[in-house]
Amino acid sequence: MTEEVVEAKIKELERLLENKASEDEIFRLIASEKSPEISFDAVIEYFQRKVSWDERIILPLSKHLFIVCKEGKAIVKAACGYEFGDFRINWKVFSKVRVRRTQEEIEELYPPFMHSDPEWTEIREFLCPGCGKLLAVEAVPPGYPPVFEFLPDIVTFYEKWLGREFPCEKVDVKDLTAEYIKENIKL
Ligand SMILES: [Zn+2]
């Protein structure tokens, strides 16, 4: 019975996601299900069928990025197969970045007088190193650290919310980005 419900949800998700439904519609579909586990399983299964690799998806971060379990470690992996690293390190650190910091560069996107002052704000475009897909855009003051959009406590989510065992090696969920930069990126 549960399996049939999951299967029906996957079909519905497919229809919504492939017709470029708004996030609102997708949220409504997920929230309409009385049992959140069924929606969760359907979302995971939907993406798991779309990707060509085998690592188990623990949580989708977007339509292109997923936290997966790879050899016992929870890492961020892209749909195209590119692997970013430990999910506790902001994936933006591993991506390709295009920074727009001059008037001319910003006006490739915005009409004159309709954009921020490049002295105050730069526009950063984060691209997937595996396929070039645009993954995120942020407008921040120059020098501002990359914004960590979502660091979910996936261990608590699995254990306390879903009431399941965490399907990978358990770790303390804390932001490791600064540590990683300190150890690996030499200026
Ligand atoms: Zn990619």
Q: What is the pLDDT of residues 48-69, one digit of tens each?
A: 999 999 999 999 998 899 999 9
Question: Can you count the helices (H) and strands (E) in the chain?
Answer: 6, 7
Q: What local confidence, expressed as pLDDT, does residue 13 receive?
A: 80
What mean pLDDT is predicted for residues 86-92? 97
pTM score, whole prediction: 0.86
State how far the alpha carbon of 167 is from the alpha carbons of 43, 60, 180, in Å.
16, 14, 25
Q: What is the mean pLDDT of the chain?
A: 90
Q: What local confidence, expressed as pLDDT, does residue 127 receive?
A: 98
Both tokens of 28, joined, read 């409504």
What is the pLDDT confidence band of residue 15, given thresholds at 50, 70 and 90?
Answer: confident
Q: Which amino acid is at 151?
A: L
Give me ligand 1 centre to Cα 78, in Å: 5
Give me ligand 1 centre to Cα 19, in Å: 21
Q: What local confidence, expressed as pLDDT, does residue 1 receive?
A: 60
The answer to whether residues 68 and 75 touch, using CB atoms and an 8 Å cutoff, is yes
Low-confidence winner among 12-16, 151-155, 176-180 (lowest mean pLDDT)? 12-16
Give me ligand 1 centre to Cα 65, in Å: 8
Give me ligand 1 centre to Cα 100, in Å: 21
Give me ligand 1 centre to Cα 154, in Å: 23
pLDDT above 90 for 3: no
What is the pLDDT confidence band of residue 24, given thresholds at 50, 70 and 90?
Answer: confident
Give the residue among 103, 84, 113, 101 at the shortest CA–CA distance from 144: 101
Q: What local confidence, expressed as pLDDT, does residue 5 receive?
A: 81
Give me ligand 1 centre to Cα 129, in Å: 6
What mean pLDDT is predicted for residues 3-23? 79
